Chain A
Amino acid sequence: MQGDILERRVLITYDQKENAGTTTGGEALHLRHPKTAVPSLYLLIREKLQEVHWFKQQLASWFIGESVSEDGSLYLSSPVDPLFIALPLLEQARMKKGDSPGMFRGLEEMLEVEGFPGYQKLFDVFEKTLDMVCEVREAGDTKYYRLDDFKALAWLCCKVEQASAALKMKGGKAFHGLSDDELRTYSIGLLSEYLPAATWMKRLSDHYGVDLDAAKKARVLLPVQPLPCAPPPPPPAKTVPVAKGRASSLAKKGPQPGDRKITSFFARPR
């Protein structure tokens, strides 16, 4: 269109069904990708964090209204669990050394990442969800968080199970023929998109006993030994001094998304 200085782009974003027919703005955030640490684009729309994908065919343009946009790119954003974004921050913040579980840190402090003011926009989002993977202590009005390996792994196991179930239900034809183990291996691979390879990806695949590299090289999905989806046994009580307090704080808050599954791990016979 003549006189149009802004170049137009086509973006399809996720929104909740109940918001159908309404419009909203969103914020573009520059955050470090949790796996690669490469500065990447995220969107914050109605308190929901979304990652942005780019799809472009070589020969494509858009018809927009009565005119043509030469760039035929399709930007596609989809919700991403903010805990994935938080995990590297939490890992770094606890300054874990050897067997010590590390330090408790304030959220505000953790979100001050040089060159990435976008993290500070996630304060509210993180505050609602960090207790899923952290031990939390309150001092006055301030909450202090410390990444809890045990909770984090349990949370990741839930992700694996949920992804497998979702692929089975809605993944389409490509996933129909896969066994539960194959689906699980695939899901762990999918999660590798969001996890630092040396730390959390390794912990997760070790837990499941999956060698993703071997699976990739052989171009087949290796069958996994059916493992109960449970985190490793809790370490001796003395290293988790607040374990009791944590349980009671969970009970007080009522059910949180994913909580039910975590407790069910403990109920499952091993």
Chain B
Amino acid sequence: MEGRTGEEPAWFNEPCILGIDEAGRGPVLGPMVYGCAFCALSQKARIAGMEFADSKTLTEEKRETLFEALKEDTSIGWAADVIHAKDLSSQMLRSEKKSLNAISHDSAMGLIRGALDKGVNLVEVYVDTVGDPEKYEQRLSEKFPGVRMTVRKKADSLFPIVSAASIVAKVTRDRALRAWVFEERGVEYGRQFGSGYPADPETKTWLAANVDPVFGFPSLVRFSWGTCKPLVAKLCVDVQWENDDEDESESTSARKNRRYESAAPGRHSYFKSRQLQQVTTHL
């Protein structure tokens, strides 16, 4: 989690508000970022005058400027939780699957917990919803009793502190994507991946061009996205699993014979049981 570090300012003890928003939930590649911004309740009016708006309605340049201003401002705190594509893929595809909503909720709660742990006296929290706003609000209230939770659709355009959080999230994601260093060695990947949204033709072209028949996509890509499945099915080699066609009635020895290509029928049991075949030659 990124955020300001150092000496905690005195206003942390005043009644404070905190906003949470996300960036990069939809794209098939790059991290999903949860951002939060917080300030003293008394600063609410000043924040409203700082031109923060839903980050999507601003130019990239404007967002960068606003983020720098926010970082300079000693009466505003912020933090960002960067969830990399690899983590999203593994959490969503593992045998005990975790939904994207659950991952989002956990990230948001982590940000609130983080602020409280830093000693911020939170009284009001505003969250852009994921899923049903009422249920989400109820969950958050149960989790953080004593903090007034407000969960709304489009909270980023309703509450300036959520707009500030959306700047944190969006700029952090854009920077992460720009600075992305592919960890896959020995392969050259182009960076023309477009916006990363599944519908973007540039993204589609890039995905199809950068899939390895065995390893699939580079770890920048969220394998768990519906966009990936048909590409993997079409462009990657088939994977066979040992128990794919498990037949209950099959005898143990028949199964063993099927699973091993090396066989040592004429050899001593020491070799036979280890499936160690003598290497013969043809001259």
Q: Which residues of B contact A53 (CB under 8 A)?
A: 271, 276-279
Contact A40 B268 (CB under 8 A): no
Shortest Cβ distance from residue B168 to the other chain A in the assembled complex, whole angstroms: 37
Give the interface residue-count category, chain A.
20 to 34
Interface string of A34-56 (1 = CB under 8 A from B): 00101111000000000111111
A55 to B269, CA, bound (A): 15
Interface residues of B in 229-283 (CB under 8 A from A): 240-242, 258-262, 266-271, 274-283
Complex CA distance for A115 and B282, rounded to whole angstroms: 11
By a CB distance below 8 angstroms, the chain B residues around A39 are 280-283
Is A190 in the interface zone, CB < 8 Å from B? yes
Contacts A53-B276, A55-B274, A190-B268: A68 and B214 contacting too (C-beta < 8 A)?
A: yes
Report if A27 contacts B (CB, 8 A): no
Give the residue name and chain of the A residue nearest to B239 (CB). Answer: A59
Given contacts A53-B277, A189-B269, 5 further A-B contacts (CB under 8 A): A30-B281, A40-B278, A54-B262, A56-B261, A59-B242
Within the assembled complex, what's the spacing in Å between the Cα atoms of A57 and B280? Answer: 18
- The reply to whether A193 and B271 contact each other, CB–CB distance below 8 Å, is yes
A193-B283 contact, Cβ under 8 Å, with A33-B278, A53-B278: no
Residue A153 is within 8 A (CB to CB) of chain B in the complex: no
Main secondary structure of the interface of B (DSSP, over half): loop
For B281, the chain A residues whose CB sits under 8 A away are 30, 39-41
B260 touches A56 (CB 8 A): yes
- With an 8 A cutoff between CB atoms, is B185 at the interface? yes
- Would you list the 9 A-B pairs with minimal beta carbon distance, nearest first? A53-B276, A66-B186, A52-B279, A41-B279, A56-B261, A56-B262, A54-B277, A30-B281, A39-B281
Nearest chain B CB to A225 CB, angstrom units: 22
Would you give the shortest CB distance from B52 to chain A, in whole angstroms? 46
- A222 interfacial contact with B, CB 8 Å: no
Structural contact, B283 and A192, CB atoms closer than 8 A: no
Within residues 103 to 155 of chain B, which ones have a CB less than 8 A from any CB in chain A? Answer: none
Contact with B along A183-199 (1 / 0, CB 8 A): 00000011011000000
- Please, which residue of chain B has its CB at the minimum distance from the CB of A52? B279
- Quick one: given A38-B280, A39-B280, A115-B283, are A55 and B268 in contact (CB under 8 Å)? no
Q: Is the CB of A75 closer than 8 A to any CB of chain B? A: yes
Query: Is A262 located at the chain interface by the 8 A CB criterion?
Result: no
State in angstroms the CA–CA spacing of A141 and B266 once bound together: 43
